[in-house]
Amino acid sequence: MVNEQQTHLLLDDELDELYGNLDYTRTLFFDVTLLDNPTLNGQFVSSQIAIDHNQYTRDDKVYQANYCAGLRILDISRIAEGIATEEAFFQVQETCPTNPGFSGAWSNYPYFPSRTIAVQSIERGLFLLKYNMAPTATPTFQPTGPTAPPTFRPTAVPTTASPTSEIPTEFPLFQAAETNNAMEATVDYTINVCPGTRLAFSLCPEDGATRVGDTYLRLFDAAGIDIANNDDACQTASKITHLFDQPCQTYTLKHGCFSINSCSGQTKIIDLTPPTSTASPTVVATTAPTAVVTAAPTAAVTVAPTTVPGTTNAPTLGGPPATFLTFETSFTDSAQTNTVDVEFIACGGDNYKFSLCGHTESGDTYLRLKDAVTNIDVSANDDSCGLVSEIDYEFPSGGCRRYKLVQGCYGSQSCKGTTHVINNNPTPATASPTFSPTVSPTDSPTAAPTATSTATPTATPTVAPTVAPSLAIPPAFPPFSASNTADATINTVINTVNVCHGTVVEFATCNEGKVCNGDTFLRLYDAANHQIASNDDRCGFCSRIKHTFTGPCQTYSLHQGCFRETNCGGQVKLKHYPSDHFILPI
């Protein structure tokens, strides 16, 4: 079934759940704007264990009759980004078997002018339903504060977690083979997690886990985005430590093996959340239950940067500490895995030197300074003083942000040291206004600068302060070459661009002078490091992404890589169209 714009195909495999290839009902999305070159651009995985069957689209909804899961209604307004969300469901069966079976809803018809939906149950006959769409956004999980239940069903019941969900101590045993670094044929387990929680998923023996073979773990959020992964944290065993900062939802940990090897094991789950964390959703809900849903967890950093719930080093606005804890590690692939990371907050104009010179006990060190939100390198150093590392960095303007220092060793070597931080900021003078007053000081010389105007300063941006909306979109990125990028997930060449709401941008290595060598792969990420679009072969083996940006002004990053383990190169050229520009479909 295609959407009404006939740009995307929605495809279900009726028997994959029955034969055990998948644990949950899955719908695949294919971009068919080029009929001779359709591409997979996303999927929706339900929380239900049921066989999928007939589905029909109307407007920006798809109506699915999924046997024992009943009628399922998905919002596909963001299908171009590979995203769908479940809005409502109706169960036609009172009870369902544990395993998927052919009982329940067989088909449905959503095309009556009255918008009545007809659903056919194999056992119980015909149901006529009316879907009353909520006029406003509904909560993404059930608040714990109110005593009365909501008057309508939340929009994301199947994919969200209860704020009071308990964290298990381990997942069941798994056994896998030929998973291509946990990218296919994986064994998947889900877990409900809320913001402020910090968890470690470990197959390391020192954490009490068992495993055989060379393992690989990947952690995905409810939208199907890979948010963390690891190969060898402890020799050939995997471990992911992650601070969850998104709204309560169901995450998936995919268990696999390195390359085409076989492996098995049982993952231990270690709750590292500080007991004094202020991110308890039950406390927030009792105070203002409706605010739990709309409050973006990452906004706490830019609004009140003195506190970042859930971080182990409790960064403050004053910047990093003078000395980090001594670290010791090995096999970090030049500070890209198995690293010792420390988070802190720095503001625009701050200047710090992070130095291991004279403070390294052994080995060849490697330091990387990253934006903690986007996980993108802002600076890196291998050998500043002999085999020892040092980074001297002035943080860019645009407010205060979370950063992290990633401490590791060169190549696969071992190293140990203590990073010292030298504050290069000038000694602050007397308090000065944080923005220029809109009224000339000579107009009211006796008043404090911050009181010269009671109106909001005209210079205050109305969008995210980290982006300058007036920055032009470049016509092209520099030429790139890459290899062994695993479909642009590692070892990529990254370029950034500032884009505002409503702009349409095309990133292409093909057509009209845009060329590529080899089989390229492009992935587009927003400032929160969420993948919002990707493409492999839009024109031959060359890649092209055309995306309408719906978020506020921010810095996006394009990850340029190659298909699987191949070598490739090229140059991405950009075309952009303003929001009021008429775009013909491609």
Q: Is 19 a residue whose pLDDT tops 80?
A: no
Residue 334 lies in a domain: yes
By the 8 A CB rule, do 373 and 401 touch?
A: yes
By the 8 A CB rule, do 420 and 359 touch?
A: yes
CATH number of the domain encompassing residue 489: 2.60.120.380
Number of folded domains that form the chain = 4
Average pLDDT value for residue range 248-260:
91
Residue 404 lies in a domain: yes
| 181: region left, alpha or beta (phi > 0 left; psi from -120 to 50 alpha) | left
- pLDDT tens profile 471-529: 578 988 999 999 999 889 899 999 999 988 878 898 988 755 556 888 899 999 988 88
By the 8 A CB rule, do 62 and 55 touch?
A: yes
Work out the widest C-alpha separation in the chain, in whole angstroms: 84
pLDDT value at residue 68:
85
Residue 16 vs residue 210, higher pLDDT: 210
End residue of a domain, out of 271, 292, 317: 271
Secondary structure (3-state) at 467: coil
pLDDT value at residue 122:
85
Shared domain for 126 and 192, answered yes or no, is no
C-alpha dist (Å) from residue 579 to 150, 468, 501, 504, 550:
37, 18, 8, 7, 10
Percentage, residues of the chain above pLDDT 70: 74
Shared domain for 125 and 181, answered yes or no, is no
Shared domain for 492 and 567, answered yes or no, is yes
Average pLDDT value for residue range 326-345:
88
pLDDT value at residue 256:
92
Please give, one letter per residue, the 3-state secondary structure of 295-337: CCCCHHHHHCCCCCCCCCCCCECCECCCECCCEEEECCCCCCC
Please, what sign has the CA dihedral across residues 35, 39, 40, 42?
negative
Q: Is 305 a residue whose pLDDT tops 80?
A: no
Number of H helices, E strands in the chain: 3, 40
Shared domain for 487 and 414, answered yes or no, is no
Average pLDDT value for residue range 246-267:
91
pLDDT value at residue 53:
86
Secondary structure (3-state) at 504: strand
Query: Distance between CA 370 and CA 50 in Å, rounded?
Result: 42
Shared domain for 24 and 118, answered yes or no, is yes
**pLDDT tier at 132 (50, 70, 90 boundaries)?**
confident
Query: Distance between CA 362 and CA 77 in Å, rounded?
Result: 55
Q: Is 40 a residue whose pLDDT tops 80?
A: yes
C-alpha dist (Å) from residue 161 to 28, 115, 139, 229:
23, 31, 12, 22
Shared domain for 121 and 179, answered yes or no, is no
Shared domain for 331 and 264, answered yes or no, is no
Residue 428 lies in a domain: no
Please tell me which of 82-91, 136-145, 272-281, 433-442 the model is most confident about, judged by mean pLDDT.
82-91
Domain that holds residue 64: 8-130
pLDDT value at residue 373:
77
Percentage, residues of the chain above pLDDT 90: 29
pLDDT value at residue 163:
42
Q: Which stretches of 102-234 are DSSP H helices?
A: none
pLDDT value at residue 99:
66
Residue 296 lies in a domain: no
Average pLDDT value for residue range 551-576:
90
End residue of a domain, out of 423, 452, 472: 423
Shared domain for 122 and 206, answered yes or no, is no
End residue of a domain, out of 423, 454, 471: 423
Residue 67 lies in a domain: yes
By the 8 A CB rule, do 112 and 264 touch?
A: no
pTM: 0.29
Shared domain for 123 and 202, answered yes or no, is no
Query: Distance between CA 127 and CA 118 in Å, rounded?
Result: 6
Q: State the burial class of residue 245 (Cβ atoms within 10 Å of its Cβ: 0-12, 13-18, 19+).
A: buried
Residue 547 lies in a domain: yes
Shared domain for 12 and 98, answered yes or no, is yes
Q: Is 294 a residue whose pLDDT tops 80?
A: no
Residue 335 lies in a domain: yes
Q: Is 253 a residue whose pLDDT tops 70?
A: yes
Lowest mean pLDDT among 22-26, 269-273, 287-291, 528-532: 287-291
Shared domain for 331 and 408, answered yes or no, is yes
Shared domain for 206 and 123, answered yes or no, is no
Residue 190 lies in a domain: yes
By the 8 A CB rule, do 237 and 205 touch?
A: yes
